[in-house]
Chains A and B, each alone.
Chain A
């Protein structure tokens, strides 16, 4: 079964600093990869996704992520964060080889942006 590890449960950072949120998944030949964001007391919304093609994926709000097949990683980055980026971020993976259409979610990383 697929597993997803978000290595940091909490990432504090100052406003305008760069940030990287890490995500690793168990090995698979073929996957879809996702990052979602959740603001307090709201549902999740899609930030970006990798389905195929270029390994560098750009999403909303200035975020981007890079798919690294050899390291089975999909880390999320932003060059300069804003206070409004404070939220919970979830990485998710769909394992296309398993025949299941249920993405596996990581436990989430809380990004806290300080002024």
Chain B
């Protein structure tokens, strides 16, 4: 079954702690994306990658970091520099027509 998986489903972060959200795809897509979703604000792009070993900042990259060492994997680290990280995080990959395929999301809460 092809698709995108994200883990964990729920994540809790203490002050000053870095946390990493996992995103894996088996759709053989080159492009992958991370979005943040807050109530009433739609989707905001954090980072995207169009090929292995390359990634670009999106609209709200401050306080976040990513890596793209493998085509299948695009993990997102929420660093302690991100002052308001409580949100729903969505990972997606895209095919050659820009159609995006989303994972089930990770809900991050700051304690």
Chain A interface residues (CB < 8 Å from chain B) = 9, 32, 34, 36, 41-46, 49, 51, 90, 92, 94, 101-103, 105-108
On whether the beta carbons of B42 and A90 are closer than 8 Å, the reply is yes
On whether the beta carbons of A90 and B94 are closer than 8 Å, the reply is no
On whether the beta carbons of B97 and A51 are closer than 8 Å, the reply is yes
Q: How far is the CA of A42 from the CA of B9 in the complex (A)?
A: 10
On whether the beta carbons of B41 and A107 are closer than 8 Å, the reply is yes
Among B43, B50, B103, point to the contact of A101 (Cβ < 8 A). Answer: B50
On chain B, the residues within 8 Å of A90 by CB distance are: 42-43
Q: How far is the CA of A92 from the CA of B4 in the complex (A)?
A: 20
On chain B, the residues within 8 Å of A46 by CB distance are: 99-101
Could you list 10 further interchain pairs (A-B, Cβ under 8 angstroms) beyond the known A43-B102, A44-B102, A51-B97? A34-B99, A43-B90, A46-B100, A46-B101, A49-B99, A90-B42, A102-B45, A102-B58, A103-B94, A107-B42
Contact with A along B1-42 (1 / 0, CB 8 A): 000101000000000000000000000000101000000111
On whether the beta carbons of B43 and A45 are closer than 8 Å, the reply is no
Q: How far is the CA of A36 from the CA of B43 in the complex (A)?
A: 12
Q: How far is the CA of A108 from the CA of B38 in the complex (A)?
A: 12
Among A36, A49, A107, point to the contact of B97 (Cβ < 8 A). Answer: A49
Q: How far is the CA of A108 from the CA of B35 in the complex (A)?
A: 14
The minimal Cβ–Cβ distance linking B56 to chain A, given in whole angstroms, is: 9
Q: Known: A41-B105, A42-B105, A43-B103. Is A105-B97 also a contact (CB below 8 A)?
A: no
Among A36, A45, A94, A108, point to the contact of B98 (Cβ < 8 A). Answer: A94
Q: How far is the CA of A44 from the CA of B107 in the complex (A)?
A: 14
Q: How far is the CA of A20 from the CA of B82 in the complex (A)?
A: 38
B102: nearest residue on chain A (CB-CB)? A43
